[in-house]
Amino acid sequence: MADHTHDLFVIGGGSGGVRAARFAAQRGARVGMAESGRMGGTCVNVGCIPKKLYSYGAHYAEGFTEAAGYGWEIAQPPTLNWATLKANRAKEITRLNGIYEGLMTNAQVLRLQGHGRLLDAHTVEVTSDDGKTTRHSARHILIATGGTPFVPEFPGCDLVVTSDDMFDLPVLPRRLVVVGGGYIGCEMASIFHGLGAEVTLLYRGEQILRGFDEEVRAFTADEMCKHGVDVRVNADVARIEALPDGTRRLTLKDGAQLDADVVLYATGRRANVRNLGLEALGVRQAESGAIEVDEHFATSVPGVYALGDVVGRMELTPVALAEAMVLVDHLFGPAPGQSARTMDYDNIPTAVFTHPPIGTVGLGEQQARERFGAIQVFRGDFKPLKHTLSGSSERTLVKLIVDAASDRVVGLHMVGADAGEIVQGFAVALKCGATKAQFDATIGIHPTSAEEFVTLRTMARG
């Protein structure tokens, strides 16, 4: 076996790369890592963390309004200091960047600041910020470079921003147009409406949130509209032009026009594979650019592996973390007393931080019908107790999908306050194969929205 300076070299310091580097080092491997940006990847810097912080911030506007029903008298209308929010967010992100750097230092990982590129299956060239290059040999190379926003080519595409830009806009836009109806677009629309912007969301399809349960999609769209987001489906942009005062004027394909201060394009993400040397090395990629891997995250080139968003499976931080542990076990063996992990993509819970938020685990109704044939659907929507005094017309949806043959709950969905927190617990139950009878036998916590999942007795449809 050739002598290498590293057992594992990781390109990318996001969630998956850091987890793989850290635990490989704990197994005794000699590990190096190259990251050209700030540590923590998309999630820490321009994804999950800042998004959730801004979502918290946006909810205060609703809270100020709803407080009157509980007897609170707010003398002056509250105002948002955008600069303060940005500064506090930046301080927290910098703290997290430091924690990720510390994880590498404490694990004795060689941490290199610069862009990594594969020269061959066992050699990485790292170009530092000042242009200097170094070469590093490794028995295994891991690509964990994540994804990047995608903007299609069209007249005026240079006048838009992406989700990466939204957390540090110089000025909070008075008018925001969001193009795209996926989870990122819907989250940004909800958040910036809550922060005070007038928001229009344009989606070229029939309904927002493609891939989610159909009833969840429709219910969320209705609630977003009730909150004040102007959701327009079957709407596509033909061109954008800049007016003399800086306004962005959008012309839609049906001829309609609307003006905005900022246009956010949230039209999907692509694997971040630019200038990695993959084509020259023969690493097989999908048409989208995503790196193709097997069940052990091995690419078509022996010795080169990839995981996380760059492989385009489920682009979620916890999924990248789990994939990293599977890879470490495969390459360096499991921890003492443990068996090697495998990756199971069924029943992975997720949340969408719209207003109100979505929590979901398992199959949607149509997916369940296609897989099992005979199913039972239990659902309910109601005004939460909080809003009996708040004055808000917001409602909550809870839904269970059951395989009729086995009585197993195969899908659980919620749209409402704290949906992500509630569904995480139920995800354990679905992972364990819980049945509807076991849900029915569970005592609820009263009064909560969560208890509705164990009190659904009447089948809505079969």
Q: What is the pLDDT of residue 75?
A: 86
Answer whether residue 2 shows pLDDT above 80.
no
Alpha carbons 288 and 273: distance in angstroms, whole number: 10
- Taken as a whole, the chain contains a residue count of 462
The residues, ordered by sequence, that sit 6+ positions from 68 with a Cβ below 8 Å of its Cβ are 74, 391
Query: pLDDT tens digit string along 114-134?
Result: 999 999 999 999 999 999 999
Quick check: is 446 catalytic? yes
Mean pLDDT across the stretch 210-220?
98
Q: Does domain 157-267 have CATH number 3.30.460.80?
A: no
Answer whether residue 1 shows pLDDT above 60.
no
Q: Which CATH superfamily is domain 6-48+85-148+270-332 in?
A: FAD/NAD(P)-binding domain (3.50.50.60)
Strand order in the sheet with 237-242: 237-242, 248-252, 257-260
CA–CA distances in Å: residue 174 to residues 59, 197, 198, 247, 260:
18, 5, 6, 11, 8
Q: Which of 115, 140, 387, 446 is catalytic?
A: 446
**Boundaries of CATH 3.50.50.60 in the chain?**
6-48+85-148+270-332, 157-267
Query: pLDDT tens digit string along 31-85?
Result: 999 999 999 999 999 999 999 999 999 999 999 999 999 999 998 889 999 999 9
pTM for the whole structure: 0.96
Tell me the percentage of the chain whose pLDDT exceeds 90: 98
CA atoms within 13 A on the CB side of 333: 7
Bridge partner list, 263: 177
Answer whether residue 360 shows pLDDT above 80.
yes
Query: pLDDT tens digit string along 293-334?
Result: 999 999 999 999 999 999 999 999 999 999 999 999 999 999
Q: Hunting for tokens 């609307």 — which residue is that?
A: 258
In the chain, what is the straight-line distance between the N-terminal and C-terminal CA atoms, in Å?
Answer: 60
Query: pLDDT tens digit string along 141-155?
Result: 999 999 999 999 999
Alpha carbons 176 and 187: distance in angstroms, whole number: 13
**Boundaries of CATH 3.30.390.30 in the chain?**
350-454
Backbone angles phi and psi of 450, in degrees to 5: -60, -30
Q: Name the class of domain 350-454.
A: alpha beta
